[in-house]
Amino acid sequence: MHSKKTVLKLTGATVAGGILLAGVMFPVAAGLGYASNRAADSVGNSSAELADGVVPAVTTMTDITGNPIAWLYDQRRFEVPSDQISNEMKLAILSIEDRRFGEHQGVDWQGTMRAFFTNT
Instruction: Break the chain into its structural domains and give their ranges.
Output: 1-79, 80-120
Q: How far is CA 24 from the centre of its chain?
A: 25
Give the mean model confidence (pLDDT) for residues 7-18: 92
Average pLDDT rounded to a whole number, residues 63-82: 79
Residue 117: per-residue pLDDT: 87
Give the model's pLDDT for residue 76. 56
Percent of the chain with pLDDT over 90: 24
pLDDT band at 46 (very low <50, low <70, confident <90, very high): low
The yes-or-no verdict on residue 102 having pLDDT over 80 is no
pLDDT band for position 75 (50/70/90)? low
Does residue 119 register a pLDDT over 70?
A: yes
Assign 71 to helix, strand or coil.
strand
Task: Decide: 7 and 15 in contact? Cβ < 8 Å.
Answer: no
Nearest to 46 by CA among 32, 59, 28: 59
CB count, 10 Å around CB of 101?
Answer: 13
pTM: 0.32
Q: What is the mean pLDDT of residues 92-113?
A: 82
